[in-house]
Structure formats: structure tokens, C-alpha cells
């Protein structure tokens, strides 16, 4: 029998961790995965595609049931871990059952933020996070939906709902969409793309309250505008799910504090993914979570492995458009920038350069070389030799340099 290892959480980080660990040390651990959702781990990134009807629900499962079986994993889906008794090294589930452990991996993810908006608790006000939300969000053609929040999640929800036939209004507090990932020009292009699929985008729009006699039926903005709504989706952000860690007495900041080895403040308990706070940063994207999962798997398999943090990068398809951003994409004072755009192709690229090195980038529409740019940023590669070719991609730059 292997060492008992309990993974709390059955999301993308958990699945990736199990994959990595079983590749590195198959049979060394007896793995149990505890997840609140009933279904197998699925690709949360594709929820908007499910909502849009582009992809069937079962198509977004990360691995089939047999995959878990093949790796000897005890899957406890539909179960909630309520406590970790560090003294006796047992995880207690909601039904009272306990699981012994030698290692606990917290991969509890995050939950939607619920801002203090009057009326937010009315029926018909939904979030956009998991499969259950998708079911609740299913709308008929022509129904009116107001999405609050113009970040990635809100846009994904708006895209899915609009594709499914809803009349969608997207309300965003800031003056541009995805302001944490995009600069003004890319955000404006994204707005055009979102509006092209029928979403009505309202910027600098503060939600005053959600109204309705019983169910929510309207969103009232601070400037007095009233947006009718059959449903309201609140997508203003996420907060790391730290309840269990907090109750266990782990060191918790915004997220569960971990060191470069993904160790929490308690021996034998690690944390990865959106619930973790590494060097003061909680990452809300899949790639750092996967990186952390691989680091932890390698450490538990007995290798030297540490995580030095991720250069913040966004590389995704939002509302049908590829976007990428990384590093100091806004350009701090003293930096230089190269800007390229093609209005006809709807491509836009901005590169921020400091001291002869790429320090940030935004790509909109054509992200084909995003990995290369990210590597240039991460490695601090001097770029002056191919600066003129930088905007036109790796193939050109490397041909020219060769």
C-alpha cells in the first residue's frame, strides 16, 4: 500500500496534479480525490462553449472515469471535506467519514466574488463558475440577461449567453474590458468583437442595485439607467476558497500561503492553484496552476523542484478571439513600445521594451507567436538584433537572425 495522499478539490489543478504525480511516481501514493461537484473533473475554460451550445457537456471532461481507475485513484465526487485534523492526520468529510493521510493537497480553487450590491441575493441572480451555474443559466432565445463584470469570466458568460440566443447587456465598472489583461486599444477591439455577436457593452457603468418583486427583473445603474433582465449574472471576480485552510489553522492571506515548494505552514499540507498564495500572488489562470501542480508532483516524487512564480500572462480565446498579454503590457514610464495593427484582419500587437529586452506584450487576433514572446519576456533575451522583426513573428526573426 502506498502513502495515503488526499487531494481536496477536483478541478483542473487537481486533475493535472494527479496526472503529473502518477507519471512521476505511479504506485507510490494511494491517492484519494475529494470533490464537491458530482461529475468528473472538467475543463472549466470551456464552460462558455457549453453555455453557447458549441460543445456538449460530456465533451469537456478532462479524463474519462477509466483514466482515474487506471491510476488507482479513489474518486470521491459529490463529497465535501469539512476539516483536516492535523493531529491525527485525517481529513473529515461532511458525512462524518474520515480519510487518513500522509499528504494533503489543497486544490480548492476559488469561488465567485459576491459584491455588496443591493438585491444580489434575489432569485435569478447567478454566478458563472461551475457546471451547476451552467444549468441554471440555460436561457431561451430572446431572454434578457445582464452580465455584471467585463473581465474574462463576464465576457465568457456574455459570449456563451449571446451565442445561445439571449439578449445580453454587459455592464462593466471600468472604462475598458479586461483592463487587467488588455490595454485600451486591444480592449476596444475586443469590445467591437463582442458587440459584433450582439452583446450590448456598457462601460463605466456602476451597478446601483438589482430590482425585482421576488425574482430579479432589472439592474439599475448609478446613473439611473434601468436594464431589464430575466436573469442577472454576477461575474465581478473570484476569491480563493480558503475556508478549510483557515479552519485548519494554516497561514492564510488572500489565499493559502505557500512557499516555493507549494508547502503550507503545516507539514504535510500543500496547496496549488487558485486557492494558493505564492509570494503574495494569487493566480486566477490555468497555466500557473498547472505549473504549481507539476512542481508539487515532482517534489512529492522525491525530486528537487521549486516554483519561482509565473510571469503573469493571459493566453486565451475570449468571445471567439485569441488574445494574449504578458508582463508590463501597459508600459511603465521609461519603457519603449512597438505597435502593429491591421484593421482589416483585426490584428493588434503591442510590445513593451526596456533596456533592449521585451518586458511586456499584448496580442489581439493573432497570437501565433505568444509562447515565443512569453519566453523572450521570461528569459530576458536581448532583442535589439531582431527588434525590427519582433512584431512579425518568430519565423521571420529567426530566419533573419540565422
Partner 1 sequence: MNAPLQTPASVKTTCPYCGVGCGVLARPDGRGGAMIAGDPDHPANFGRLCSKGAALGDTLGLKTRLLHPLVRNERGVLNRASWDDALGTIADGLRDTIERHGPDSVAFYLSGQLLTEDYYVANKLMKGFIGSANVDTNSRLCMASSVAGHRRVFGEDVVPGCYADFDTADLIVLVGSNAAWCHPVLYQRIIANKRDRGAKLVVIDPRRTASAEDADLFLGIAPGMDTVLFSGLLVFLADQGALDLDYIAAYSDGFATALAQARRLAPDMTSVAAATKLAITDVEQFFRLFQATPKIVTAFSQGVNQSAQGTDKVAAIIQCHLATGRIGMEGQTPFSLTGQPNAMGGREVGGLANQLAAHMDFTPREIDRVRRFWRAQRMATHPGLKAVDLFEAVARGEIKALWVMGTNPVVSLPDADAARAALRKLDLFVVSENVCSNDTVAAGAHIVLPAAAWGEKDGTVTNSERRIARQRPFLPLPGQARPDWWIVSEVAKRLGFGDAFSYRSAADIFREHAALSAFENNHTRAFNIGGLADLDDAAFAVMTPVQWPVSSRAGGTSRLFADGGYCHADGKASFAAVADVALAEPLHDNFPLRLNTGRIRDQWHTMTRTGLSARLGLHLMEPFVEVHPDDAAFYGLGDGEFARLRTRHGACVLKVVLTPGQQRGSVFAPIHWSNETASDARIGALIAPLTDPVSGQPEAKATPVAVAPVTFRYRGFVLARDVPDWPAESWWARVAVNGGDAYLFAGNAELTVWQGWANRVFGNDVELADYCDQQKGECRVAAFREGRLAGALFVSASGLPLWDTVKALFDSDAVDDSARRLLLSGKTADGVAQPGPTVCACFNVGLNPIRACIAQGATTPAAIGMATKAGTNCGSCIPELKRLLHHDAAPLAI
CA angle 349, 150, 160 (to 5 degrees): 95
Q: Could you say which of 253, 342, 355, 385 contacts partner 1 (CB under 8 A)?
A: 342
The full DSSP string for 262-312 is -B-SSTTEEE-GGGEEETTB---SHHHHHHHHHHHHHHHTT----------
> What is the four-CA torsion angle of 290, 303, 101, 268, rounded to 10 degrees?
-90
Strands 110-112, 226-228: pairing is: unpaired
Q: Name the segment binding partner 1 (CB under 8 A); options: 41-49, 101-109, 200-208, 213-221.
A: 41-49
Least Å distance, CB 347 to partner 1, is 7
Angle separating helix axes 152-163 and 184-196, nearest 10 degrees: 20
90 touching partner 1, by CB under 8 A: no
Helix, strand or coil, per DSSP, at residue 245: helix
Q: Write the DSSP string, 334-388.
A: T-EEEEEEETTTTEEEEEEEETTEEEEEEEES--TTHHHHHHHHHHT-B-GGGHH
Residue with cell 432569485: 123
Stretch that binds partner 1, among 71-79, 247-255, 258-266, 369-377 (CB under 8 A): 369-377
Residue of the chain from 100, 253, 280, 368 that contacts partner 1 (CB under 8 A): 368
- Of 7, 12, 155, 242, the one binding partner 1 (CB under 8 A) is 12
Instruction: Look at residues 114, 79, 85, 117 and name the one whose alpha carbon lies nearest to residue 101.
Output: 85
Query: Which residues neighbour 115 within 8 Å (Cβ) at sequence distance 6 or greater?
Result: 234, 236
Distance CA 24, CA 330 (A): 40
Please tell me whether residue 77 binds partner 1 under the rule CB under 8 A.
no
Smaller CB separation from partner 1, 171 or 397: 397
Span interacting with partner 1, options 64-72, 91-99, 301-309, 360-368, rule CB under 8 A: 360-368
Size of the site for partner 1 (CB under 8 A): 46
Q: How far is CA 370 from the centre of its chain?
A: 18
Stretch that binds partner 1, among 89-97, 231-239, 294-302, 390-398 (CB under 8 A): 390-398
59 binds partner 1 (CB under 8 A): yes
- Show the site string, 258-297: x = touches partner 1 by CB under 8 A, - = not: ----------------------------xx--x-------
* Residue 63, all three cell numbers: 479524463
Q: Judged by CB, which is closer to partner 1: 172, or 350?
A: 350
Could you say whether residue 389 binds partner 1 (CB under 8 A)?
A: yes
Longest alpha-carbon distance in the chain: 69
Identify which of 231, 229, 257 has the alpha carbon closest to the alpha carbon of residue 245. Answer: 257
Query: Should residue 43 be labelled a site residue for partner 1 when binding is judged by CB under 8 A?
Result: yes
Considering only residues 23, 80, 303, 399, which one is a binding residue for partner 1 as defined by CB under 8 A?
Answer: 399
Taking contact as CB under 8 A, which single stretch among the options 84-92, 194-202, 295-303, 315-323 is the one that binds partner 1? 315-323
Minimum CB separation of residue 381 from partner 1 in Å reads: 17
Among 24, 25, 46, 263, binds partner 1 (CB under 8 A): 46
Closest CB to partner 1 among residues 66, 267: 66
What residues line the site for partner 1 (CB under 8 A)? 12, 43, 45-46, 49, 54-55, 59, 62, 286-287, 290, 315-317, 322, 324, 336-345, 347, 353, 366-372, 387-389, 391-393, 395-396, 399-400
Amino acid at each position: 500500500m502506498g502513502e495515503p495522499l488526499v487531494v481536496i478539490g477536483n478541478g483542473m489543478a487537481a486533475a493535472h496534479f494527479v496526472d503529473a504525480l502518477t507519471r512521476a511516481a505511479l504506485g507510490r501514493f494511494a491517492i484519494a480525490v475529494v470533490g464537491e461537484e458530482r461529475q468528473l473533473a472538467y475543463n472549466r475554460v470551456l464552460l462558455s462553449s457549453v453555455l453557447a451550445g458549441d460543445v456538449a457537456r460530456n465533451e469537456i471532461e478532462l479524463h474519462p472515469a477509466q483514466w482515474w481507475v487506471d491510476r488507482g485513484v479513489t474518486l470521491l465526487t459529490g463529497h465535501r471535506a469539512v476539516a483536516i485534523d492535523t493531529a491525527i492526520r485525517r481529513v473529515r468529510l461532511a458525512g462524518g467519514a474520515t480519510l487518513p493521510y500522509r499528504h494533503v493537497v489543497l486544490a480548492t480553487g476559488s469561488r465567485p466574488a459576491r459584491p455588496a450590491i443591493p438585491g444580489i441575493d434575489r432569485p435569478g441572480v447567478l454566478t458563472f463558475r461551475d457546471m451547476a451555474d451552467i444549468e441554471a443559466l440555460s436561457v431561451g432565445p430572446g431572454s434578457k440577461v445582464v452580465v455584471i463584470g467585463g473581465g474574462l469570466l463576464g465576457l465568457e458568460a456574455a459570449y456563451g449567453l449571446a451565442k445561445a440566443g439571449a439578449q445580453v447587456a454587459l455592464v462593466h465598472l471600468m472604462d475598458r474590458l479586461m483592463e487587467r489583461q488588455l490595454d485600451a486599444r486591444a480592449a476596444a477591439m475586443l469590445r467591437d468583437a463582442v458587440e459584433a455577436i450582439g452583446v450590448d457593452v456598457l462601460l463605466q457603468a456602476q451597478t446601483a442595485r438589482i430590482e425585482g418583486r421576488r425574482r430579479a427583473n432589472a439592474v439599475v445603474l448609478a446613473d439611473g439607467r434601468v436594464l431589464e433582465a430575466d436573469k442577472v449574472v454576477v461575474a465581478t471576480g473570484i476569491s480563493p476558497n480558503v475556508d478549510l485552510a483557515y479552519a485548519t489553522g494554516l497561514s492564510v492571506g488572500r489565499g493559502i500561503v505557500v512557499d516555493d515548494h507549494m508547502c503550507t505552514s503545516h507539514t504535510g499540507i500543500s496547496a496549488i492553484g487558485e486557492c494558493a498564495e505564492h509570494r503574495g500572488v494569487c493566480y486566477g489562470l490555468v497555466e500557473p496552476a498547472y505549473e504549481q501542480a507539476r512542481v508539487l508532483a515532482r517534489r512529492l516524487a522525491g525530486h528537487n523542484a521549486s516554483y519561482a512564480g509565473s510571469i503573469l500572462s493571459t493566453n486565451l480565446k475570449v468571445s471567439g478571439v485569441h488574445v494574449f498579454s504578458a508582463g508590463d503590457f501597459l508600459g511603465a514610464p521609461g519603457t519603449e513600445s512597438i505597435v502593429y495593427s491591421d484593421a482589416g484582419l483585426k490584428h493588434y500587437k503591442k510590445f513593451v521594451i526596456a533596456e533592449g529586452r521585451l518586458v511586456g506584450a499584448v496580442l489581439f487576433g493573432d497570437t501565433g507567436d505568444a509562447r515565443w514572446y512569453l519566453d523572450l519576456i521570461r528569459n530576458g533575451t536581448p532583442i535589439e538584433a531582431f527588434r525590427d522583426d519582433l512584431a512579425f513573428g518568430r519565423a521571420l526573426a529567426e530566419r533573419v537572425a540565422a
